[in-house]
Amino acid sequence: MLEVGLRHRYGRAGFAIDAGFTAPEAGVTAIFGPSGCGKSTILAAVAGLLRPDAGRVALAGKPLLDTALSVFIPPERRRFAMVFQEARLFPHLSVATNLRYGLRRAPPEATGPGFEEVVALLGLGDLLTRRPSRLSGGERQRVALGRALLARPRLLLMDEPLAALDAARRAEVLPFLARLRDAAAIPILYVTHALDEVDALADQLVLLAEGRVLAAGPVEALAARTDLPLAARRDAGALLSCRIAAHDAERGLTRLDFPGGQFAVPLRAEPIGSQARIRLRARDVAVATEPPRGISTQNVLAAQLVSVDAATASPEVFLQLALGPSIILARVTRDSIARLGLRPGLSVWAVIKAVTFDHAMPPPPPPPP
């Protein structure tokens, strides 16, 4: 487990951070929040590139920073490889030498994927002899990912690795990131302000605002809550981990199993049996008290109304619906609540159009030869 607890203030009356969280030994923990909320400061402190006023950073119980005990392990001895927003490749070294920079400095007993394996994983084979100045932005970031992974780190730190890329380059690099996550048997701390990256990559979420942790926990659990700033977003909604159950090419549909039921969505590219995480936006979910008939909507699912979030004065209200063990959100008007007599415990029908499902994860890159 990674434990992080920090207090830091820039200048005498500057921006202050007072944040603490833990991250499990495996998987991706995303630190999510708006620009200037202190995400990158936290990551720099974990890396050892910034000494906070006070705090503790420990991995598997061993402190790397503990201001109370005057412990400060310098960054080069932490073995927390970092990927930055700009790739920060060494301009005087070839791609191959850049990739080997951390590998040559890793302790001999450190384990991890080998050079050839990482080159294949990230599709770097054709770039090895090039200089960083002769690479595209997306290629640079892929090399930076490989370089960090090859340092055989105990923890990977990623500071908005896609933020400096345009939409096309992001779509190019994101699948490689997902691959790297699956190949690396180490925890990843991932700082971002893009929710789709959280959806695509993260297992755990630390929600940050103005230097403080608002909530932390599994991504799905936080997405289903209506009391967080996440709920104010247009794309607020539940995240469901699904398995591709079947493709029906003739009808143009893919069936997704999720705990508590099945969705029909437009045909997807992933092979049967693979996992896909689906963001089901609250504003795309309608509620009926009787099973609707003569309707184009593919997904009409029996559900239990768990809660009606009527606390806010807003004309729109969040409903939490239970589909078996899964919770989804629906956003309806206050008028609909009154008209249909919606109250917790009621059996309803969740009505979800197939075409509203987002491709939370872009199709995977072609497998390495």
Partner 1 sequence: MILSGEEWQAVRLSLDVATRSVLVSLIPAVAVAWALARGRFPGRVLLDALVHLPLVVPPVVVGWGLLMLFGIRGPIGAPLYEWFGIRLVFTTGGAALATAVMSFPLIVRAVRLGLENVDPGLEAAAASLGAGPLDRFLSVTLPLMSPGILAGAVTAFAAGLGEFGAVITFASNIPGETQTLPLAIYSATQTPGGEAVAGRLALISFTLAMSGLLLAEWIARRMHLLLGRG
Q: Is 2 in the site for partner 1 (CB under 8 A)?
A: no
Task: Tell me the two tokens of residue 267.
Answer: 């045909």
Q: Is 106 in the site for partner 1 (CB under 8 A)?
A: yes
Helix (H) or strand (E) holding 12: none
Stretch of 85-93, 185-193, 275-283, 295-303 lying at the interface with partner 1 (CB under 8 A): 85-93
Q: Is 131 in the site for partner 1 (CB under 8 A)?
A: yes
Least Å distance between CB 89 and partner 1?
8
Stretch of 81-89, 207-215, 300-308, 317-325 lying at the interface with partner 1 (CB under 8 A): 81-89
Q: Which is nearer to partner 1, 91 or 294 (CB)?
A: 91
Query: Could you give the CA distance from residue 357 to residue 277 in angstroms, rounded to a whole number?
Result: 10
For partner 1, which residue of 6, 157, 206, 285 counts as binding (CB under 8 A)?
157
How many positions of this chain bind partner 1 (CB under 8 A)?
30
Q: Is 76 in the site for partner 1 (CB under 8 A)?
A: yes
For partner 1, which residue of 8, 56, 79, 154 counts as binding (CB under 8 A)?
79
Residue ranges with strand state E in 16-106: 16-23, 28-32, 54-59, 62-66, 71-72, 80-83
For partner 1, which residue of 17, 65, 82, 239 counts as binding (CB under 8 A)?
82
Do residues 207 and 214 lie in contact, with contact meaning Cβ atoms separated by under 8 Å? yes
Q: Is 109 in the site for partner 1 (CB under 8 A)?
A: no
Q: Is 91 in the site for partner 1 (CB under 8 A)?
A: yes
For partner 1, which residue of 101, 243, 309, 322 counts as binding (CB under 8 A)?
101
Q: Quick one: which of 226, 233, 157 has its CA closest to 196?
A: 233
Q: Are strands 316-323 and 299-309 parallel, antiparallel or unpaired?
A: antiparallel
Q: Is 11 in the site for partner 1 (CB under 8 A)?
A: no
Least Å distance between CB 73 and partner 1?
12
Q: Is 92 in the site for partner 1 (CB under 8 A)?
A: yes
Query: Could you give the CA distance from residue 131 to residue 108 in angstroms, rounded to a whole number?
Result: 28
Q: Is 365 in the site for partner 1 (CB under 8 A)?
A: no
| 113 HSE (CA, 13 A, CB side) | 23
Query: Could you give the CA distance from residue 146 to residue 149 in angstroms, rounded to a whole number?
Result: 5
Do residues 132 and 92 lie in contact, with contact meaning Cβ atoms separated by under 8 Å? no
Who's near 228: CB < 8 A, 6+ residues apart? 207, 214, 215, 222
Least Å distance between CB 106 and partner 1?
6
For partner 1, which residue of 17, 52, 55, 84 counts as binding (CB under 8 A)?
84
Write each residue from 20 to 59 as x if it is in contact with partner 1 (CB under 8 A), else as -, in one continuous string.
Answer: ---------------------------xxx----------
Q: Which is nearer to partner 1, 86 or 117 (CB)?
A: 86
List interacting residues with partner 1 (CB under 8 A).
Answer: 47-49, 74-82, 84, 86, 88, 90-92, 101-102, 105-106, 131-134, 147-148, 151, 157
